[in-house]
Each structure stands twice: as structure tokens, then as C-alpha cells.
Amino acid sequence: MPQQPSPSSRSKRKITVAAVEDFPPGTRMEVQVGRAVIAVFNIDGEYYALYGRCPHQSAPLSRGRLQGTVICNAETGWETEWAYDGEVLVCPGHGMEYHLKSGKAFGYTFKLRTYEVVVEEGQVKLVM
Ligand code: FES
């Protein structure tokens, strides 16, 4: 009986998003990979990718604005503080906030799936 490769032994595939020159800083794209929609952002030359649909009512997160948010926790001594400036993705549907780099939802315990992004031979690629 043939053996199936374990999940860890399968090689990851890379999906080309765009050429680097077509994906400048401050822009974002939405990519469909199979049934998954992935939002990819270029923030000052660093690329970030996360699941592209808000779990609340499926609004397209690639259209969300980026800003900071107010936090208040033990690390801030329970004082309100502006944080994550430019790293908070606001859902265009009803305003849920997600940390672009980690996918974590602010104020909730879940996070969106994030994806590694690499640049190879002038192409921006998702690693899946
Ligand atoms: S669809 Fe995102 S908050 Fe409602």
C-alpha cells in the first residue's frame, strides 16, 4: 500500500500575487486561491497576508482602512493608549478591527489565518 506523505513533509506551494513593481507600498490586493480569498498588503515594502473575508458577515477585508487602535490592559497599567498605528485593519462592513500582522481580532479571542509572503525573482508570492 502506498504511503501518504505526512502534512509536515508536504512541500508548501507558492502562489504568485503580482510583480513587485505592480504592488507598491501603500497598496493591497485580493487573491483567490481555490475557495480561499486572501487579502495581501504592502506596508512600507513589507508584505502581509491574511484571510480576506470578515468572519462576521464576510465583508472584503482588502477594502478595509488601516489605522491604529486604543488599547487598555495590564501592559498599559489599565490606562488607554493609542497603539499599533497603521497596523489595524478595520473591516469595511461593521468596523471590527484586526491586527494586520498577526490576524488577531481586537476585543475578541479569535484570529484570522495569516500567510507568509515572500519575494522571489521580482514576484510577490504567497506561501501556502
Ligand atoms: S462584516 Fe466585518 S464587522 Fe461585520
| Rounded distance from Cα 55 to ligand 1 centre (Å) | 7
- Name the superfamily (CATH) of residues 8-127: Rieske [2Fe-2S] iron-sulphur domain (2.102.10.10)
User: What ligand 1 atom has the least distance to the C-alpha of 58?
Assistant: 1
Interval 28-36 mean pLDDT: 96
Around 49, how many Cα atoms within 13 Å sit in the side-chain half-sphere? 22
Residue 44 one-letter amino acid: D
List the domain boundaries for the chain: 8-127
What is the rounded CA–CA span in Å between residue 36 and residue 25? 24
Q: Tell me the pTM.
A: 0.88
Interval 46-73 mean pLDDT: 97
The total of other beta-carbon atoms located within 10 Å of residue 42's CB is 20
The percentage of the chain sitting over the pLDDT mark of 90, rounded to a whole number, equals 90
Ligand 1 neighbourhood includes 93 CB (under 6 angstroms): yes
What is the rounded CA–CA span in Å between residue 50 and residue 99? 10
Looking at residue 96, its pLDDT comes to: 98
**What are 116-128's pLDDT values in tens digits?**
999 999 999 999 9
C-alpha cell at 49: 497576508
Ligand 1 neighbourhood includes 57 CB (under 6 angstroms): yes
Closest C-alpha residue for ligand 1 atom 3:
94
**What are 36-53's pLDDT values in tens digits?**
999 999 999 999 999 999
